[in-house]
Structure 1
Amino acid sequence: MKYCSNCGAEVDLLVPPGDSLPRHVCPACGSIHYQNPKVVVGALAEWEGRILMCRRAIEPRHGFWTLPAGFMENAETTAEAAARETLEEACARIQVGELYTLFDIPHISQVHIVYRARLLDLDFRPGEESLEVALFDEADIPWSEIAFRSIERTLRHYYEDRRRGDWPLHTGSILPPADHRPV
């Protein structure tokens, strides 16, 4: 951040009184600008044992496959964000189920949340951010073309859990990859 969003003056990076972390502070008007992690929310939408996936039409990871997901908006719940993102990216309607995965990704200041969901019908098609949308059986998942590690981990948990018949909440952190592959 270079300029104050309140008055337009250049900001300084310093620890404000009473705080313990560096913040962007405007010396002209005194505004403290807090930058917080972004929340990415998506849905693992099921239809007769198959999973709805989207091939990305945008960066990052253009052309790679993912679950329908995106940044949460203000004034919505995480479940509403999952349903909205599925509608936007796959033009698909879902019934949102239980929270399934929650991954902290501190090196990019994001939290990734995925809900299990039920696809309500087969009326889906690519939205503006998707090149194509398809239902996949486990054997047909394009594992080498998955866009993000959080999605790959979610899918692997899903198939392991389905075999066991147990659906625990999966949480954890995803650290920076040694090979610099996107999270």
Structure 2
Amino acid sequence: MKYCSDCAAPLRVEVPAGDNMPRKVCSSCGAIHYRNPRVIVGAICEYEGQLLLCRRDIEPRRGFWTFPAGFLEVGETTAEGAARETFEESGAKVEIEDLCAIINVPYIAQVYMSYRARMTNPHHHITPESSETCLIAPEDIPWDYLAFPTIWHSLKFWMADRAAGTRSFHTLDLTTRPREPIARERSADVADE
């Protein structure tokens, strides 16, 4: 960002009075432009013991698998956002249950929230964001082909809870960027956990 979104004047970087971090400040109107983390919401959707997965048809990580997730919109709760993203990416209608995990990803300025959800019926279909959707048994999750570390860890948390017969709340800080490709690195981790 080089210009003020309020008045279009050039921005400068400085530490505003009363602040402790450099910010972009308008050279004309003085507006402070903060860069804050984005919230990503998703749903681990289940129908009769199977999980809903979507093959991404958009970048980044086009062709890799994920559960439905995306950016939270202004004016919606995190649960509403997870349900909306599920419908947008798979056509599935869900009832959001409880929060499974919050994963902080500071290296890309994101906070990721994954919910447990129940599909209200088995219907799902491809969308502009997903080239394929499917219901699969948990033991058939394509671990080597999951799109992002947040998806991998969220599903691992969900699987551990399922095995233990519990519904725990999990947190994780992913503080270092993984080397590409993500999928190949994760396959070795599956055996370790």
Scaled by the length of structure 2, the TM-score of the pair is 0.91
Quick one: which amino acid aligns to residue 142 of structure 1? P
Quick one: which amino acid aligns to residue 161 of structure 1? D
132-141 or 85-94: which moved more? 132-141
**Any unmatched runs of 5+ in structure 1?**
none
Please give the residue correspondences for 1:1-183 in structure 2 after superposition, counting only pairs within 5 Å. Answer: 1-181=1-181
Deviation at 1:182, TM superposition (A): 5.8
How big is the alpha-carbon RMSD for the aligned residues of Structure 1 and Structure 2? 1.4
Could you say if the C-alpha distance between residues 53 and 166 of structure 1 is closer, same or farther in structure 2, counting changes exceeding 3 Å? same
1-10 or 74-83: which moved more? 1-10
Deviation at 1:181, TM superposition (A): 4.9
How many residue pairs get aligned? The number is: 183
Deviation at 1:141, TM superposition (A): 1.1
Q: Would you tell me which structure has more helix in proportion to its own residues?
A: 2
CA distance in 1, matches of 2:56, 2:47: 21
What's the CA shift string for 1:33-60, capped at 9, x where partnerless?
1111000000000011111011001111
CA distance in 2, matches of 1:59, 1:14: 34
* Partner SS for 2:113: strand
**Any unmatched runs of 5+ in structure 2?**
184-193
CA distance in 1, matches of 2:127, 2:55: 10
